[in-house]
Copies of this chain bind each other. A is one copy, B any other.
Amino acid sequence: MSFYDASVPAFLQILGSLSGILTKAEAHCAAKNIQPDVLLGARLYPDMLPLSRQVQLACDYAAKGCARLTHSEVPSTPDTEKTFDELKQRLANTTDYLKAFKPAQFDGADSREVTFPVGPGNTMTLTGQQFLNRFAFPNFYFHAATTHGILRHNGVEIGKRDFLGVN
C-alpha cells in the first residue's frame, strides 16, 4: 500500500459522512421547526466553537494536511459559510480538492519533512508520517467527531454509523 492510501481515503470517508450528517441535521430543523442558524451556532460549551466552525476546521485539516504532505501550495479558504447548503458545498469542494491529488505525489512523503505553523510565530517540523498521525488526523477527527457530538446533543437522530459513513 502507498502513503496516499494511508491518508487521502481516510479524509474522504469522513468528509462524505459529514455531508450526510448535515443533510440529516437540516431535515431535523425542518421537521422540528428549528431555525437552521440555531443549530449551526450550537456549541457543547459557551467557549467552544460552534457547529459551522467545526465543519470548516475539519475541511481545513484535511485540505491543508494533504497540501503540506505533498509540499503543494497550502489552500486558504475564507470561512464564510452560513447555511447547511454552503457547508455541504465546502465539504464537496474539499472532497474535490483531495480527489485531485495523484497517488505519486505522496510517494516518499511519509519520510519527507513537513514544517507547519503551530500557534502564532511558531513552527514545528516532523516527518510526513508523524505529521499525519500526531497532527493532521487527530485534529481532523476531533472536529469531525465534535460536529457529530453537537448535533447528537441537540437531538438530531444520527449515530456512529453516520459518522463512519456506513449508513
Mark A residues whose CB is within 8 Å of B: 1, 3, 5-6, 9-10, 13-14, 44-45, 48, 110-111, 127-130, 132-135, 137-139, 141-142, 144-146, 148-149, 152-153, 155, 160, 163-164
* Residues from chain B with Cβ under 8 Å of A155 in the complex: 45
* Residues from chain B with Cβ under 8 Å of A160 in the complex: 139, 142
Cα separation A13 to B155 with both chains bound (whole Å):
31
Using known A-B contacts A44-B152, A133-B6, determine if residue A164 contacts B141 with beta carbons closer than 8 Å. no
Q: Give A72 Cβ to nearest chain B Cβ, in Å.
A: 20
Given A5-B130, A13-B134, 20 further pairs, Cβ under 8 A: A1-B110, A5-B133, A6-B110, A6-B129, A9-B133, A10-B134, A10-B137, A44-B44, A137-B137, A138-B164, A139-B160, A139-B164, A141-B141, A141-B142, A141-B145, A142-B145, A142-B148, A142-B160, A142-B164, A145-B145
**Which of B10, B146, B163 is close to A149, meaning CB atoms less than 8 Å apart?**
B146
